[in-house]
Amino acid sequence: MMSATASPSKPSKAADHAPSRLPSLSSIRVAGGTRIEIIKQAGHNVVASVSERDGYKVRFPRFRDTPEGIFINTGGGVVSGDTVQHNISVAADASAVFSTQSAERIYRARGQETTRLKIELSLSERSELSWLPQETILFNNVRLRRTIKADMPISAKLLLSEICVFGRSAMGETVTNGSYHDRWRIKRDSRLLFADDIRLEGQVSETLAQRAVAQGATATATILYVANDAADKLPATRAILSELDFEAAASSWNGFLLVRAFASSTERIRAMIATISPMLSGRALPRVWWT
């Protein structure tokens, strides 16, 4: 019979290879996002720089005259405590279009932890930028704070479109409770042009059911077009909205055009954007919308 002892001051080889203690999945938080710069060089739009962090990537699969950036969340969704920030800069005379590979999912919160999404856009003289992500899907007991900021000169053009879906109706899901705060701030020539806050707290489904809020709709959309020809686009926009079978309206003043829509079907909202967006920007929606 053989035996062996290990000195307390000299761990055994088995101890040398013992796995280190890993953090629990519930303690992992993401501080991710991207930073992108688009410039005009020798008459062409060029992606001058891209930085990516913590599971977020951007790819340009369709690059003709205008770069078409597609954001990819390799984590498959966003959980409470995560912070995601995208910074996009478009230089003078340059143009770019951005979307997402698929719908973004914001999962239920753990306690009072909040998901924070931040979009910061910077445009220069005569530049054009379209921000056209696919829908954001909120799960029950979500806690989300989203901020969209843009700074642009009067000669630039900006198109923003956001769809928010409260629960996946096809899966029988509803958002009965949660916290949702969507904050937009657009500056033009360094002066505040557009400020918008949507805030739902507590009994979300009951609030959405109110006639003065969303009349029970579970899919909402906001489209904002800021350009010198914004007012000229209003008649065509209203003509499109007049053909819809859900609540939608448009108005224009002070150099921008705003569309609000509420529907019980995400597909109807997407179809509306697929018609209005090309009319406003002069470009088709990114191909990922149809794949």
pLDDT for res 174: 81
Name residue 75's amino acid: G
Name residue 120's amino acid: E
For 23-55, how does the pLDDT look when each residue is reduced to its tens digit (9 = 90+)? 544 555 677 899 999 999 999 999 999 999 988
pLDDT at 171 over 80: no
Q: Stretch 206-229: mean pLDDT, rounded?
A: 90
pLDDT higher at 171 or 221: 221
What single string gives the DSSP state of each residue in 94-130?
Answer: -EEEEEESS-EEEPPPSTT--EEEEEEEEE-TT-EEE
pLDDT at 281 over 70: yes
Tell me the percentage of the chain whose pLDDT exceeds 70.
88
**82 closest CA partner among 102, 100, 107:** 107
Rounded CA-CA distance 127/82 in Å is 32
pLDDT for res 26: 52
Q: Stretch 124-147: mean pLDDT, rounded?
A: 95
Rounded CA-CA distance 133/198 in Å is 18
pLDDT for res 233: 97
Rounded CA-CA distance 108/212 in Å is 27
Q: Stretch 4-20: mean pLDDT, rounded?
A: 45
Tell me the percentage of the chain whose pLDDT exceeds 90.
66
For 179-204, how does the pLDDT look when each residue is reduced to its tens digit (9 = 90+)? 999 999 999 999 999 999 999 998 88
Q: Stretch 259-275: mean pLDDT, rounded?
A: 94
Name residue 138's amino acid: L
Instruction: Read off the pTM.
Output: 0.87
Rounded CA-CA distance 222/220 in Å is 7
Indicate the domain borders of the chain. 39-290
pLDDT higher at 111 or 128: 128
Structural tokens at position 254: 């002070």
pLDDT for res 79: 84
Which residue is associated with the tokens 């309206």? 249
Planar angle of CA 149, 196, 267, nearest 5 degrees: 90
pLDDT for res 4: 38
pLDDT at 133 over 50: yes
